[in-house]
Structure 1
Amino acid sequence: MGAAPGAVPGGASGVARFGRPEPPVGKVGTDVRRDVTATLPWMGAGTEFLVQLVDALPDDALRAPSALPGWSRAHVIAHVARNAEALARLAAWARTGVETPMYADAEQRAAEIESSAQRPAETLRRELTITAEDLDVALSALDDRMWHNTVRSALGRAIPAAEIPWMRVREVWLHSVDLASGTTVSDLPPEVVDTLLDDVTGVLSSRDGCPSATLTATDRDRTWSLGPEGAGVEVHGPAAQLLGGVTGRSGGAALTALGGDLPVPPRWL
């Protein structure tokens, strides 16, 4: 297993190399996912953690399968690098007002990832770091007003620019697990786990066919509702394992279902 998140200098309250430790604006609304005073440090710590995991892998190990079907570890690294570029385009949109989508289309996104994944290990490592640094620079150019400017996600959802760091938080922390190098959802910081559960259950509950369930964390006083309101399965387990269950990143062995089988939600992202 790679270094635990607590070993990353700065942790959840500051960052070592990536991200800005003193962002200039607070919340946009009341959603922590739009509170850059929280998400920028989470983003920086997650980037540091992911880079350390990648740097610890031998070059030939980057060609081994990841935890994502059909993708090698190189594909995961390439995706995270290209994602940083895409989010930097959104930051430029928020700063200039000139519409700059994340990707031209899904085909372009897939082609860029596939092409990037074939590059030498040294290039992959360098691009992972450089694109993350470039994203930090792009975000640091946003002032209090610009954080409120509206941009669009890759799925076409209108969002304030203040949500861009959260989009990156999801990428760096969950893809650290997807590298299949020993890191699990239990290694993610608790505050990131809880906010991911907020995000995932909210998105999945709006999808057709989402089962009804109440997710109850056994390691803190929190519950999350999944699917339509009404009778459903009660799922108990550590919050990180609940997250792993709804995102398909753990097998559910640490979860207990009362009133039925463990729910199988639709795909999240």
Structure 2
Amino acid sequence: MKSVRSVASDLGVLEREAGMAMATIASLVDDELGKPTRCEGWTRAHVVAHLVRDAEALTHLATWAVTGEETPAYASAEERAADIERTAAELSARQLAAALDRADRQLAEALARLRSGVAVETVPTPFAGEIDVFALPALRTTELIVHHHDLDTTWQWHEAGTDAIVDAIDICVLRLRANPDSPGLHVVAREGEEWTVGDGATRIEGYYEELLPFLAREEVESGLRHDGDLPALPRW
């Protein structure tokens, strides 16, 4: 469970993953931004633009949590798609990296204010439903890890920190629980933790770095063990 006491350490985890993602993104030039990614129909520029807009949305949610004043964070799916398309088309590699750096810094400042207490305990998100405000750092960490992987560079899942991977598994499970189309899963980490989605009908077992690729992107690592056929997961 996340709480006001976990914010400081969660921000440290987030800072590490944000720095790694930024190092990758800042190294890309304009020609490389146009390459396809693991997100169907999106180039690297689209993925980076999405990370910028996601940071801005989470900044609104964190501010709402602290002030108690409702601040709409997410536009409709159509508006989000159009904005990402426009941002990806109009900004150069350097401009996108600068925009992401700026958005990350603003988000970190907003999340740090959670340590002083909150007026609102939960806020709505598009894919994870109503989420505890103290889980917002973990939500951003998850976005960074998954989309860092989506960029399809040399970066690999196992390069994320262990705490970050566990946070990402937690958030993936929250997303699945919030989606009525999710199959029943019993997720067992060899490190000790267990998670259940729905009726827990299908057991999957592995180390953290084997579980996350499946829960996030349905990628099956060689060490993942499961009962019967793996079910399809809803996309996000």
| Counterpart position of 2:233 | 265
Query: In the alignment, residue 239 of structure 1 is paired with which amino acid?
Result: Y
Q: TM-score, normalised by structure 2?
A: 0.85
Deviation at 1:40, TM superposition (A): 1.1
Q: Distance in 2 between matches of 1:224 and 1:234?
A: 10
Residue in structure 2 matching 1:186, options 147, 155, 158: 158
Deviation at 1:76, TM superposition (A): 0.6
Q: Which has the larger radius of gyration?
A: 1
Q: Distance in 2 between matches of 1:90 and 1:202?
A: 17
| Counterpart position of 2:77 | 106
1:246 aligns with 2:215: yes
Q: Distance in 2 between matches of 1:221 and 1:172?
A: 25
Q: Distance in 1 between matches of 2:203 and 2:75?
A: 42
For the structure 1 residues 116 and 249, does the alpha-carbon distance in structure 2 shift closer, same or farther, using more than 3 Å as the test?
A: farther
1:128 aligns with 2:100: yes
| Counterpart position of 1:22 | none
Identity %: 31
Q: Distance in 2 between matches of 1:209 and 1:156?
A: 13
- Deviations for 1:162-214, whole angstroms, at most 9, x for unmatched residues? 33222211111221111110222222222222232233234324544533343
Residue in structure 2 matching 1:68, options 39, 44, 63: 39
* Structure 2 residues not aligned, in runs of 5+: none
| SS across alignment from 2:187 | strand
Q: TM-score, normalised by structure 1?
A: 0.76
1:52 aligns with 2:20: no
CA RMSD of aligned residues (A): 2.6
Q: Distance in 2 between matches of 1:261 and 1:186?
A: 25
Query: In the alignment, residue 144 of structure 1 is paired with which amino acid?
Result: S
For the structure 1 residues 249 and 59, does the alpha-carbon distance in structure 2 shift closer, same or farther, using more than 3 Å as the test?
A: farther
Query: In the alignment, residue 107 of structure 2 is paired with which amino acid?
Result: L
Instruction: Name the structure with the higher helix share.
Output: 2
| SS across alignment from 2:54 | helix
User: Superposition pairs for residues 140-151 of structure 1, below 5 Å?
Assistant: 140-142=112-114, 144-146=116-118, 148-151=120-123
1:42 aligns with 2:13: yes
